[in-house]
A and B are shown apart, each in its own frame.
Chain A
């Protein structure tokens, strides 16, 4: 009997807790991916080792399809693991985690397909793979090289499980809506209506004027907080400006050239915050 969605999450929590990860909870503001959570983005910077794992709701307004398309959602889940520095057996650890979900690696075709990751709004990149099981991409694996435009001292490995796809593979389902979330309750029961309403908001009713103004405000607030030496709250403003940009994009309010300029503005903020964060990390080390 395949694991339900919630049991799958519990199994991953147990596995990574057993390895010594700090098990965290989702971040409190919208992010496009678990990578943006400061537990990954900021903790990747600086000289301190760090191991954490957490579920992250991934909010991508343009990917919504009003709950009509069983493969596209504006809200779905990732399971994010960050291991800094990357242990030399990190791939074996990952494959063991699949074993912990009940996947027999000798019975399936599991492989690593080149996938170079770049986060233009974060000024970040890394090299790694998509992990395919029988042709289904279930995980992205990345060795980060740069964040906020800064070369990393300790190279972290990031493991991002796509929970819906992994569950579709485990449960043999063709639609995310049909996934068993808990006994007798499907993923569709939990989220279908939410997809419909949020798609309407993202595509039709999110107020463009207000959002444009908010973007400017988040940008200004971020810079103000950087000046006050507060990288953590400043980083929240990076996330908020990034999400505001995504909403404007979904509303079709951004032309191709404006797009590049918005992305550049968010990246500038991310860089400023990253620099400040690292300075303070290094300062804290010296003080201790």
Chain B
């Protein structure tokens, strides 16, 4: 079978576009060529594919024409209708078949090469990029301009019709060390472009880079730039460089960020780095790159020294002139709220000191240059000022976890401050009416809420969102912030809802546990886990008792008496339920207060049997309105008592 090559020659594509193309090309080939490519060759200047098992000809196609009576006249001669059908299929009218009262045209398959120009153009046009552009008026859209297309079926050149983009056997090698190359045969493509200084295979380039880095040793890639670098070069050469030791006075992460985010270098530890060039004289290229990195570090040093001259306390003193959010005061106001929240969370002196200094680096010039290093830079400045490590760690870890799956704070102070930081952000945004909607969440509130859930679960830290929000809101009011006079009531729910995604528990059980209205996130999480772990024979009776009680009491609860009157309990079965309730209710409360969910569930289960009998023996909707109201009250009490363990109606059975 013949080999097909398609090469889309582009101006330098971003790494993300290369990855999009790599994901889409197999499907596009299946759709338009009838087979997936055997090999994808993806790089910044060319998206290429080789396919080896394509059918030689397209399949025959059977088309149904009009009814025989319409296709042929009374004398059996083909009508215009029949001639039209035949012409459309490239046949003579005499070639039409007659079956089942209709005429049929069998369209023969054609050679693959004849259909490729149109079909390959469809493959190219089918690529869709997150960000695309035009480069000519009314021209196609692509991630960057397409400048040539090569298509070969073995040694046959296929011309692909793509809005004026030249197509033939002409390709290009390395942009500077090579020039035009002619692809003689699809099977010789790799050899030809490699000879022209281009490695078209992303996997090969990655292997070359990683092998070379490994030979050097000690490399790291905390910013994950390797996957971008693979798509920045066609001819990777790994080189090493070094910078002046004096720059190591800078916080290490500042150096690493300058190397990685700005320059796509790989730190080698100490004052050394590795980088990947796309060619050139290694000595010249190394010297140039060293000069650039030192320039960046020199620039950062200027900024760093100005900040350090002010010191962390000097920076903190400037927070009064930095707005945190319009209507919610300054960064100094925010720091004051954090201190109050730390107190409410039972944080110690070091953590309160951390709260006072938490936002100081927002006044630092270095944070303006390296915004991702907020918190870290503050911690470094606190260390330089001689603050205890517990204070510095709290400042450092306040933003953790900063992604849904990112690491949690490790220090006690970090955990407390991280909770306070997130509670404050949520309180301020909700109090200003800035709730996230749909995909709009500019303040990262969902991430903050997920962070709170993870902090509660992982650290067992008691986080009573409602109470903390009330505290923060109270401070906001004292600070005369332009917020609603009532604390936003929906933050607790907004946060607890995130438990559904964070816990590895079916959502119905999380919803049931949320229905218990337990004060802290951790208790809700533990309850959800306990409910899902409960065997059927234990949850069953509680579930039945709860749902039966709430079904009856729910409908008629407005008729229930305000309080249970023991004197009106006429039947033995209802007295038994009341007695069981008297025992169970305080036991459940006590158990929950001590976090003993198992014990609470066991107490709840004691209500099941008396309630069963109650429903058999007692008519709730009695004629006597006082008795009826009393019985309804009894059921409401049962529902409320069991409801402390969750809204069992959420759990499907």
Q: Which of B11-19, B245-253, B338-346, B399-407 touches A?
A: B11-19
Q: Which residues of B contact A286 (CB under 8 A)?
A: none
Q: Which residues of A contact B171 (CB under 8 A)?
A: none
Please report the C-alpha to C-alpha distance between residue A288 and residue B144 in the assembled complex, in whole angstroms. 36
Q: Which of A20-28, A125-133, A195-203 touches B?
A: A125-133
With contact pairs A111-B12, A153-B137, A257-B323 given, residues A69 and B299 touching in the complex (Cβ less than 8 Å): yes
Q: Which residues of B contact A72 (CB under 8 A)?
A: 299, 302
A191 contacts B by Cβ under 8 Å: no
Q: Please, what's the 1-or-0 string for A104-148, where 1 marks a CB less than 8 Å from any CB in chain B? A: 011111111110100000000011010001111000000101000
Q: Are A169 and B278 in contact (CB under 8 A)?
A: no
Q: Are B279 and A106 in contact (CB under 8 A)?
A: yes
Please report the C-alpha to C-alpha distance between residue A256 and residue B16 in the assembled complex, in whole angstroms. 31
Please report the C-alpha to C-alpha distance between residue A255 and residue B284 in the assembled complex, in whole angstroms. 45
Q: Are B284 and A174 in contact (CB under 8 A)?
A: no
Q: Are A71 and B298 in contact (CB under 8 A)?
A: yes
Q: Which residues of A contact B298 (CB under 8 A)?
A: 70-71, 174
Please report the C-alpha to C-alpha distance between residue A249 and residue B615 in the assembled complex, in whole angstroms. 74
Q: Which residues of A contact B137 (CB under 8 A)?
A: 85, 153-155
Distance (whole angstroms) from the CB of A255 to the closest CB of chain B: 4
A217 contacts B by Cβ under 8 Å: no
Q: Are A85 and B232 in contact (CB under 8 A)?
A: no
* Option from B136, B144, B293, B326 in Cβ contact (under 8 Å) with A257: B326
Q: Which residues of B contact A153 (CB under 8 A)?
A: 137
B63 contacts A by Cβ under 8 Å: no
Please report the C-alpha to C-alpha distance between residue A107 and residue B11 in the assembled complex, in whole angstroms. 21
* Option from A68, A71, A111, A155 in Cβ contact (under 8 Å) with B295: A71
A65 contacts B by Cβ under 8 Å: yes
Please report the C-alpha to C-alpha distance between residue A252 and residue B365 in the assembled complex, in whole angstroms. 13
Question: Number of residue pairs across A and B with beta carbons under 8 Å?
Answer: 111
Considering only CB atoms, which chain B residue lies closest to A69 in the complex? B302
Q: Which residues of B contact A91 (CB under 8 A)?
A: 11
Q: Which of B127-135, B371-379, B605-613 touches A?
A: B127-135
A172 contacts B by Cβ under 8 Å: yes
B444 contacts A by Cβ under 8 Å: no
Q: Which of B131, B292, B323 has the most CB of A within 10 A?
A: B292
Please report the C-alpha to C-alpha distance between residue A69 and residue B134 in the assembled complex, in whole angstroms. 40
Considering only CB atoms, which chain B residue lies closest to A145 in the complex? B133
Distance (whole angstroms) from the CB of A156 to the closest CB of chain B: 10
Distance (whole angstroms) from the CB of A140 to the closest CB of chain B: 14
Please report the C-alpha to C-alpha distance between residue A216 and residue B321 in the assembled complex, in whole angstroms. 24
Considering only CB atoms, which chain B residue lies closest to A126 in the complex? B133
Please report the C-alpha to C-alpha distance between residue A114 and residue B284 in the assembled complex, in whole angstroms. 24
Scan residues 65-100 of chain A and give those whose CB is less than 8 A from a CB of chain B.
65, 68-72, 85-86, 88, 91, 95
Q: Please, what's the 1-or-0 string for B300-341, where 1 marks a CB less than 8 Å from any CB in chain A? A: 001000000000000000000101011000000000000000
Scan residues 10-69 of chain A and give those whose CB is less than 8 A from a CB of chain B.
65, 68-69
Q: Are B294 and A107 in contact (CB under 8 A)?
A: no
Please report the C-alpha to C-alpha distance between residue A136 and residue B295 in the assembled complex, in whole angstroms. 10
Q: Are B285 and A134 in contact (CB under 8 A)?
A: yes
B288 contacts A by Cβ under 8 Å: yes
Please report the C-alpha to C-alpha distance between residue A99 and residue B12 in the assembled complex, in whole angstroms. 20
Please report the C-alpha to C-alpha distance between residue A52 and residue B54 in the assembled complex, in whole angstroms. 50
B233 contacts A by Cβ under 8 Å: yes
B289 contacts A by Cβ under 8 Å: yes
Q: Are A136 and B281 in contact (CB under 8 A)?
A: no
Considering only CB atoms, which chain A residue lies closest to B129 in the complex? A127
Q: Are B323 and A256 in contact (CB under 8 A)?
A: yes
Please report the C-alpha to C-alpha distance between residue A111 and residue B14 in the assembled complex, in whole angstroms. 12
Considering only CB atoms, which chain A residue lies closest to B265 in the complex? A135
Q: Which residues of A contact B11 (CB under 8 A)?
A: 91, 112
Q: Are A111 and B232 in contact (CB under 8 A)?
A: yes
Q: Are A112 and B288 in contact (CB under 8 A)?
A: no
Please report the C-alpha to C-alpha distance between residue A172 and residue B284 in the assembled complex, in whole angstroms. 11
Considering only CB atoms, which chain A residue lies closest to B16 in the complex? A114
Q: Which residues of A contact B289 (CB under 8 A)?
A: 109, 134-135
Please report the C-alpha to C-alpha distance between residue A143 and residue B141 in the assembled complex, in whole angstroms. 12
Please report the C-alpha to C-alpha distance between residue A134 and residue B326 in the assembled complex, in whole angstroms. 44
Q: Are A155 and B136 in contact (CB under 8 A)?
A: yes
Please report the C-alpha to C-alpha distance between residue A168 and residue B296 in the assembled complex, in whole angstroms. 13
Q: Which residues of A contact B295 (CB under 8 A)?
A: 71, 168, 174
B263 contacts A by Cβ under 8 Å: yes
Q: Are A88 and B285 in contact (CB under 8 A)?
A: no
Considering only CB atoms, which chain B residue lies closest to A89 in the complex? B147
Q: Which residues of B contact A114 (CB under 8 A)?
A: 12, 14-16
Distance (whole angstroms) from the CB of B290 to the closest CB of chain A: 9
Considering only CB atoms, which chain B residue lies closest to A261 in the complex? B326
Q: Please, what's the 1-or-0 string for B192-222, where 1 marks a CB less than 8 Å from any CB in chain A? A: 0000000000000000000000000000000
Please report the C-alpha to C-alpha distance between residue A126 and residue B279 in the assembled complex, in whole angstroms. 28
Point out residues on B near A: beta carbons under 8 Å. Answer: 11-12, 14-16, 44, 131, 133-137, 143-145, 147, 175-177, 232-233, 263, 275, 277-281, 284-285, 287-289, 291-295, 298-299, 302, 321, 323, 325-326
16 contacts between A and B (CB under 8 A): A65-B302, A88-B147, A91-B11, A95-B176, A106-B177, A106-B280, A107-B280, A112-B44, A114-B12, A134-B289, A143-B133, A155-B135, A252-B321, A256-B323, A256-B326, A257-B323
6 closest A-B pairs by CB:
A134-B288, A114-B14, A257-B326, A112-B12, A135-B289, A255-B323
